[in-house]
Amino acid sequence: MSDPLHDTLGDRLRLLGTQMPAPTLPAAEIRRRADRRRHRRHALGATAACTAAALCLALPSMLHSPGPRHGAAPADTSSVSPRPPAGFTVTSTRTSPIGTGSVAGILASCLGPDASNYHAVIAVRAPVATQDTDGVVIAVNSAHKYVQCEAKGHKGTSMSVPPTFINDRLWGTGHLIEFFDSFSEPADGKQTLSLGAGHYTPDVAKITISYGDNPTQYPALMADGAFVYTAAISGLEGNSPSPVPYVHAYNTAGQEIYNQQTEPTAKQ
């Protein structure tokens, strides 16, 4: 999915120059993906301008992890703001690891014959499931090109066509953060799933995310230059848009070196 904030026309043209032509898809599948993208844009509502930057939270100990994050114990990074703003509550950011067998099936169904060229670096189930998504797998190949596959059970899909058509470069001098695909959509139990991913430079030691006007920051999952965030949000009424996720990046000294609210271009 194209990121209107972070993908300039020049960026996309350069990216197009490096990609194989998209495979021909059945008409029904094209309509299904288009409907899904429209549904997600509607769910994002007024947040669409910033949502591409939505996605991420960090565990410094994972920064140099050599393997996929699907073998660790479940992590619960939930916290409660002492004064949560009216209109929504971040009910959970808890993730659980996706098993190796399921990861293989997700990548195979998402990437097809290209799956054997990629290995997962982050693979987790989300705290709440939607009709199409209950987790995410981020994988990378030997050329350090990333893919993002949303998971539902043992199956994987991508919002990009082909799945390797993704913003997987840190465009421009001074960029610390770039973003893959992100979305918010209705989930089980009258909740909303907020999920996304991206990548970062070695200058970044920790990534967190805050939602809307709530100052509470939740740590992201980080591994091999990629990050993922996912959260269950409740309390939204009617067609109220999901709160905008804002990315914050910190260096090894604990200093904030990027704040999406004040530096939306992801530059120092």
pTM: 0.69
Q: Is the model's pLDDT at 250 over the cut of 90?
A: yes
Using CA atoms, how far apart are residues 78 and 43, in angstroms rounded to an integer?
23
* Reported confidence tier of residue 266, pLDDT bands at 50, 70, 90: low
Over residues 208-234, the mean pLDDT reads 95
User: With 0-12 CB in 10 A as exposed, 13-18 as middle and 19+ as buried, what is 196?
Assistant: buried
The token pair at 37 is 């993208």
Average pLDDT, the chain: 75
The 3-state DSSP class for residue 187 equals strand
As a whole number, mean pLDDT of residues 8-26 equals: 45
Return left, alpha or beta for 56; rule: phi > 0 is left, psi -120 to 50 is alpha, else beta: left
- pLDDT, tens digit, 9 for 90 and up, residues 37-46: 444 443 443 3
- Cα 74 to Cα 87: distance, rounded to the nearest angstrom: 28
Nearest CA among 141, 160, 142 for reference residue 150: 160
Rg of the chain (C-alpha set): 17
Q: What is the structure's pLDDT at 93?
A: 96
Q: Distance between CA atoms of 250 and 35, rounded to whole angstroms? A: 37
Predicted local confidence at residue 173, as pLDDT? 63
DSSP 7-55: --HHHHHHHHTTSPPPPP--HHHHHHHHHHHHHHHHHHGGGHHHHTT--
